[in-house]
Chains A and B, each alone.
Chain A
Amino acid sequence: MTDPIITARGIDIFYDTTQAIKGVDLDILPNKVTALIGPSGCGKSTFLRAINRMNDLIPICHMNGELKIVGQDIYAPEVDVVALRAQVGMVFQKPNPFPKSIFENVAYGLKIHKMTTSKSELQDRVEWSLKSAGLWNEVSDRLDHAGNSLSGGQQQRLCIARAIAVKPKVILMDEPCSALDPIATAVVEELIDNLREEYTIVIVTHSMQQAARISQRTAFFHLGSLVEYGDTKTIFTMPADERTQNYITGRIG
């Protein structure tokens, strides 16, 4: 068993006095797709957003416990959250390309982190990102068009290209396909499958079939607790916990 890339120990997350996550211990393995599933309000999105410290933006949200990425505590005082987010990318539920051109969307991260030294290097990186996201063939002739002139599925792939342009270690995805039609979903799922060779992906999804399709590890959250975590095959054929079985077979909400 390889060493985990993200380790969470005793994570409690509160919104003011309401506890959203209770005592979660979780190890995310590298170069695998880990799916977080569970009913609405079970805390899976909250847990996901703790990994890139997006919860910091919510003043009433505070956390106990230890979250390490590649052995480093990301909540330590010397951690620069900008550096963290440059290495832990995020793709959101609703595609949100910037109101700029396709090129500028992908180039933005590279520019602010000064990752390229010349204009041609920048263009190469943008092309590489768009190719990795499977979007290059569709947009190479209109890189200067607005990002939001693309279809929903293309926009989401643009957001993925934007995230991988900075070559993060981990990509977090919060229900990336829930706003997409079945074909666009399938294209994105195929992309995720290809991406896991290079990146570690943690994906929150409402669709159990999607979790079964694309993930290798699945974590089932219920009312803020981590109920069961294991190989996706096992979770979906012989889950150990009855709550897991009840959820995946559609027996409780």
Chain B
Amino acid sequence: MTQEHIVKQFDKNLEKIKTTIVEMGGLVGLQLNDATAVLSAYDAAEVERISTYDRIINGLNKDIHDRAEILIVRRQPVALDLRQTLAPINISGELERIGDHAKSTAKRAYTIHTIPSDDAAIELFARMSVVVQAMLNDVLKAYEDADIKLAAKIIAQDKEVDILNKKLLQGVIETLAKAPGMAESLIHLTLISRNFERIGDHICNIARYVHQIVTGDDLKASSHTAHARTDI
């Protein structure tokens, strides 16, 4: 879409940040996958793997910060380049938090296997996971391709996750009334559902950052006059 920089190294630096984000996103996706699998059938190895990925993801997060810092020092980026340098810092943060939620989900999954739980809920989680994982893959693709249409689709898709979350909460409330003894497991289920909902939100944030990189508009800001501050 845009031309290359005269200084090729500049393009290489930006490209490297991009691929690192995608790599990080890929690992987070694997974490999500494993966490979902653990929900159905506990596997200690998978839980272990999630922790391993966690360490790598932290390393990549630091790497992105460092690269962005050096790029600002070296190139004094403006306009598009600046957005392409600053946004990954935020995106990386969001990815990291997604990873944390995946880890927390996996840990909780262990718990529910030891207590009687609701199969319907697990079914729901599977569906939520599918949606969320698809969203994650899409947002990474949207980031790579600077595709704001795809980013918009993802934001819309989050509603689906929210609906599923609400459905689960309703189910929990109903079950709680019927079988108070299942309270412990129901709480865990609620929290797991909330994790997925949060993951959806974080992916939405990444989609907004993708939009901001391309257009400069911050979709989170409520009004257009946010840019008109003259004392900056």
Contact = CB atoms under 8 A, between A and B. Distances in A.
A238 B3 contact: no
**Interface residues of B: mostly helix, strand, loop or mixed?**
loop
A183 interface: no
Contact of A249 (B5, B227, B230, B232): B5
24 contacts: A208-B78, A209-B76, A233-B232, A234-B227, A236-B78, A237-B78, A237-B216, A238-B79, A238-B216, A239-B79, A245-B2, A245-B80, A246-B2, A248-B78, A249-B77, A249-B78, A249-B80, A250-B5, A250-B6, A250-B10, A251-B3, A251-B4, A251-B5, A251-B6
Contacts, number: 43
Contacts of B4: 251
B6 A248 contact: no
Contacts of A249: 5, 77-81
Interface in B172-222: 216
Interface string B1-44: 01111110010000000000000000000000000000000000
A253 interface: yes
A248 B79 contact: yes
Interface string A226-253: 0000010110111100100110111111
A100 to B, nearest CB: 40
B79 A237 contact: yes
**Interface residues of A: mostly helix, strand, loop or mixed?**
helix
Nearest to A249: B81
B82 interface: yes
B3 to A, nearest CB: 5
Interface string A144-182: 000000000000000000000000000000000000000
B8 to A, nearest CB: 11
A252 B78 contact: no
A76 B63 CA distance: 63
A145 to B, nearest CB: 39
A238 B82 CA distance: 10
Contacts of A251: 2-6
Interface in B134-172: none
Given A208-B78, A248-B79, 10 more contacts: A236-B79, A237-B78, A238-B216, A245-B2, A245-B79, A249-B78, A249-B80, A250-B7, A251-B4, A252-B6
B174 to A, nearest CB: 50
A212 B7 CA distance: 21
Contacts of A233: 232
A252 B7 CA distance: 10
Contacts of B80: 245, 249
Nearest to A237: B79
A231 to B, nearest CB: 8
A239 B230 CA distance: 17
A251 B76 CA distance: 14
Nearest to A212: B78
A253 B5 CA distance: 10
Interface string B59-89: 0000000000000000111111110000000
A193 to B, nearest CB: 15
A169 to B, nearest CB: 24
Contacts of B230: 231
Nearest to A239: B79
A18 B6 CA distance: 28
A233 B79 CA distance: 10
A231 B2 CA distance: 24
Contacts of B216: 237-238
